[in-house]
Structure 1
Amino acid sequence: MTNQTASSTPDAQAIEVTGAYKVFGRRPKEAVKRLRAGASRDDIKQLGTAAVIDTSFSVQPGEIFVVMGLSGSGKSTLIRMLNGLGETTDGSIRVFGDEIVGMGAADLRALRRDRLSMVFQHFALLPHRTVRDNAAYGLEIQGVPAAERRERANHWLERVGLKGWEDHLPGELSGGMQQRVGLARAFAADTDILLMDEAFSALDPLIRREMQEQLVELQQELGKTIVFITHDLNEAMFLGDRIAVMRDGRIVQVGTPNDILTDPANDYVAQFVQDVDRARVLTAGDVMEPPRAVVPASAGPRAALRLMRDLQTSACFVTTSGRKLLGVVRDKDMLREVRKGGTDLAALVRPTPSVVDRDQYIADLFELAVESPLPVAVVDNQGRLIGVVPRVTLLASLTNVPAVTTEIPIIEPTPDVPMAVITETLEQTHPGRVPEGAAAESPSPEAMITNEGAQA
């Protein structure tokens, strides 16, 4: 059970920051006044050091909100302002609707005990307490009975992979294991919000990736609100539902990882993201193109063959009238069926070689694209065809070009049957044997497919 008391405004954002400033120095209020009037960070150095300047953003309940920036950008100062560890010089910070700027010491302690947990960069474990007692420390502060503390601490230590280490001291654990204790402590406290300040930066790359994956898994299961501070762009892109980029105390852009990567707000953000691993940020839904080689199952082999001829492709997707993907048909099969006078397209449908959902990272699409004779098919949760990812689009997405493009005129794969053979077969088997000169008056394959699909 959660120990939090109900918020005075239960529908409020988890965190809402409006016009927040933090200035260290002799005359911080005067410095804020000059900053509001347009002075730069350097202009007010004699009055103090502006760590956070006119910052506004909101964090939605249940999201991972990442604040990213280089050293000195103000991100660590900002996260300390969120739980009252650093006094806000000016502005407003609300946690579930409750204003914490100017909040009394007792109320701040209650806020940290019941609503906010902190995971630190250097673990912040108590060296003379066992791993279990460290994991249960927040519960002890909350006044949870000893038996329940022990049970909940053991549960979370097992969840983070530390079963069997409960009675050891922190000094007996590796750095990655110590950080897992910190994560178990934060989740055991069962607060609404987790504040994580460079929580994984002290870990080696392999352990760091494991911790990132475990955090995402736990957050998806529990729906906690997480504010995560990092200077690592790839970490921000992997973890964040939304990302705030900070520079010199100011937030210069807030957006989804895709927004930050494909539509940077300025040159600083563009330079920041130029080396990011795009393949693990962009998804199939981000880069997919409108499907062209598509025929409804009701259209018949002639319509499919005509479409493949006109698009110069050896295969096309087959869908129901509701666009549910059934599979693919090949030009050789259609040619043979047309020559036989067959009209049943459905019987010749083959399984689709490569199908993904729109949230699949493009890093997972390369092997599928190489092995498939058609572009990778993208379907929604009801199995409807919503787009395709051709190989050329997949390769273009790895470069600094927009992920959303116009329709690409390159069709894959090249036909197996010569176009002349297909055209000749269509003419010879056409009902009424339409003369070649009259071909221009016949309906287009798209019109034919649309009409036949509408009749189905």
Structure 2
Amino acid sequence: MSRVRVRNLTKVFGKRTQQALEMVKEGKSKQEILEQTGATVGVHNVSFDVEDGEIFVIMGLSGSGKSTLVRLINRLIEPTSGSVYINEDDVSKMSKDELRQVRRTKVNMVFQNFGLFPKRTVLENAEYGLEIRGVGKKERQQKAEQALDNSGLLSYKDQYPEQLSGGMQQRVGLARALANDSEILLMDEAFSALDPLIRRDMQDDLLELQEKVQKIIIFITHDLNEALRIGNRIALMRDGKIMQIGTGEEILTNPANDFVREFTEDVDRSKVLTAENIMEPALTINVETEGPNVALQRMRKEEVSMLLAVDRKRDLKGSLTAESALDARKNEKKITEVLDKNVQKISKDALVTDIFDLIYNSPTPLAVMNENDRLIGVVVRGSVIGAMTDKTEGTAEKEGVNIDA
């Protein structure tokens, strides 16, 4: 069961709510609805789930409804209809006291403007959420110091916010949210006010912290590159509706509609697509059961001059050229005796931009390995060039030593 479940969530600002919703169903634009009813559709019929340990990014342009949506999750904005479940509790039906408890213990929000108290030290700022929960001084100090340590800020604990850079202030805001030990972090444009270099550092910090704490993070941004960099999944919004939910790779390679396609067309895909996205099936020979005659027959049939050699478990043993197979047959050698064991291996998660130099200097395809170090495919030069030029179909090169499938 997902820890956060959003179901049919809708928010219409204004009085003529029902008329506005009917116009939405008729396909009217936000501007048309505003002109005819005076109501503004902030979010319409949004549903999604977020899992433990996931960074779920909600993104869109200004006016898309993303900031309204994140405020509906912790009911800073009251929904017109729909439900938000945290575990099995429906936030939309909670009393004020229940909601206050959820905000104090389960959901924390990190804003763009940091929200630090200027007259409190870094440690005192990090303790604040625990303080209002009534946690004792010794315990809250211990938790706050641990959060600051995780964020690389412990040595600054006695300084004041004005003594820190903007990026460090944002780290304190993040540490404060983590110190509260909430299950869920809502981050609304948390890094957008930072300059590009600090912003990238903060993205790195967030990813590193998430490795340690494994929270549910719902992150709002208007920056597609930021969304692609940090999001496990992305929800792309327009006019209060979700256009598509998926991984960055899914959204780039299989856009749901023209809006998504146009929105993502300027993205550098080489920094998002991985070896798994562009790999081809590997033509192989099993060194435990097959010999040089089988290898040569397979090469003739597939019109290639090299195979990758594996065992029954798909462990990679090396590469076998036609010349080596002929030598093995002529001199009655085992395939294992003539293999070239210097095959370049890459992880299935390797980015295309990182693969380019490897494939450029490699006389053979790159062997793509899964998390168990088993062969799952190959990357050829043409596929990398195609991905980097956004022409992913029909670009594989027929090179003498390449394995084409």
TM-score (normalised: structure 1) = 0.82
- Name whichever of 369-378 and 203-212 sits farther off: 203-212
Residue 181 in 1 paired to residue 181 in 2?
Answer: no
Q: Determine if the alignment matches structure 1 residue 120 to structure 2 residue 115.
A: no
| 2:214 equivalent to 1:223 | yes
Pair 1:54-2:45 in alignment: yes
Structure 1: distance between partners of 2:148 and 2:116: 14
Q: Does 1:410 align with 2:398?
A: yes
SS in 2 for 1:295: strand
Matches within 5 A, 1:107-186: 107-186=98-177
Aligned equivalents of 2:402 and 2:75: distance in 1?
64
Deviations 1:329-374 (A, max 9, x none): 34444444444x2322112223243112222222221122122211
Aligned residues: 400
Distance across 1 between alignment mates of 2:349 and 2:60: 27
**Separation in 1, partners of 2:297, 2:45:** 62
Report the AA paired with residue 413 of structure 1: V
Q: 1:320-359 maps to which residues of 2 (within 5 A)?
A: 320-339=311-330, 341-359=331-349
SS at match of 1:365: helix
Question: In 2, Cα distance between the equivalents of 1:33 and 1:171?
Answer: 50
The residue matched to 1:164 in structure 2 has which SS? helix
Q: Which one of the candidate residues 365, 371, 382 is aligned to 2:372?
A: 382
| Paired amino acid for 1:24 | F
Question: Counterpart of 2:47 in 1: which secondary structure?
Answer: strand
Match of 1:262 in 2: 253
SS for the counterpart of 1:228 is strand
* Deviation of the 1:302 alpha carbon: 4.3
Q: Of residues 5, 9, 12 in structure 2, which corresponds to 1:23? A: 12
How far does residue 414 in structure 1 lie from its aligned partner after superposition?
7.0
Displacement of 1:315: 3.5
- Please state whether the residue corresponding to 1:208 is helix, strand or coil: helix
The counterpart of 1:198, out of the listed 186, 189, 193, is 189
For the 8 Å contact 1:52–1:78, the answer to whether it is kept is yes
1:142 offset after TM fit, Å?
A: 1.9
5+ long unaligned stretches in structure 2: none
Amino acid at match of 1:23: V
Q: Residue 30 of structure 2 corresponds to which residue in structure 1? A: 41
Q: In the TM superposition, what are the counterparts of 1:296-315 in structure 2 within 5 Å?
A: 296-298=286-288, 299-305=290-296, 307-308=298-299, 311=302, 313-315=304-306
Which aligned runs of 4 or more in structure 1 are off by greater than 6 angstroms?
Answer: none
Given the alignment, which residue of 383, 388, 398 partners 1:398? 388
Contact 1:300–1:343 (CA<8 Å) still a contact in 2?
Answer: no
In 2, the alpha carbon distance for the partners of 1:184 and 1:332 equals 61
Corresponding residue number in structure 1 for 2:350: 360
Structure 2 CA distance for partners of 1:331 and 1:137, relative to 1, 3 Å: same
Query: Corresponding residue for 2:363?
Result: 373
- Contact 1:289/1:389 (CA < 8 Å) preserved in 2? yes
Report the TM-score, using the length of structure 2 for normalisation. Answer: 0.91
Task: Report Cα offsets for 1:396-437 as digits up to 9, x if no partner.
Answer: 1234445xx68957245279xxxxxxxxxxxxxxxxxxxxxx
Residue 97 (structure 1) aligned with residue 82 (structure 2): no
Question: CA-to-partner distance for each residue in 1:278-311, whole Å, 9 max, x for gaps?
Answer: 122111111110112x222143344445544665
Say if 1:194 and 1:414 are closer, same or farther in 2 by CA, change over 3 A: closer
Q: Could you give the per-residue CA deviations for residues 183-221 of structure 1, whole angstroms, max 9, x where no partner exists?
A: 111111111111010111112222222221221222233
Please, which runs of 5 or more residues in structure 1 have no aligned partner? Answer: 1-10, 416-456
Pick closer, same or farther for the CA change 1:205–1:262 going to 2, 3 Å: same
Aligned-partner Cα distance in 2 for 1:359–1:47: 49
> Displacement, 1:391?
0.7
| Preserved contact between residue 242 and residue 257 of structure 1 (Cα < 8 Å) | yes
Question: Following TM superposition, by how much is the alpha carbon of 1:32 offset from its aligned partner in structure 2, in angstroms?
Answer: 3.3
Structure 2: distance between partners of 1:35 and 1:295:
58
Distance 2:397 2:360 in 1: 19
Q: Which residue of 2 aligns with 1:283?
A: 274
Deviates more, 1:188-197 or 1:97-106: 97-106
For the 8 Å contact 2:14–2:38, the answer to whether it is kept is yes
CA 1:313 to 1:373, structure 2 compared with 1: closer, same or farther past 3 Å? farther
SS of 2:317 mapped into structure 1:
strand
Larger radius of gyration: 1
Aligned identity (percent) is 45
Distance 1:44 1:345 in 2: 72
| Greater Cα shift, 350-359 or 294-303 | 294-303
- Asked whether 1:214 is paired with 2:205, we answer yes
Flag the 1:91–1:162 CA change in 2: closer, same or farther, 3 A: same
Q: CA deviation at 1:101?
A: 1.8
Of residues 230, 236, 239, the one that matches 1:245 is 236
- 2:372 is aligned with what amino acid? Q
What is the rounded CA distance, in whole Å, between the counterparts of 2:146 and 2:241 in structure 1? Answer: 40
2:227 maps to amino acid: A
Residue 61 of structure 1 deviates from its aligned partner by 2.6
Q: Which residue of 2 aligns with 1:14?
A: 3
Partner residue, 1:436: none
TM-superposed CA distance for 1:114, in Å, is: 0.8
Contact 1:377–1:385 (CA under 8 A) maintained in structure 2: yes
Q: Which moved more, 1:310-319 or 1:156-165?
A: 310-319
Deviation at 1:261, TM superposition (A): 0.4
Distance 2:370 2:24 in 1: 49
Cα shift at 1:125: 0.8
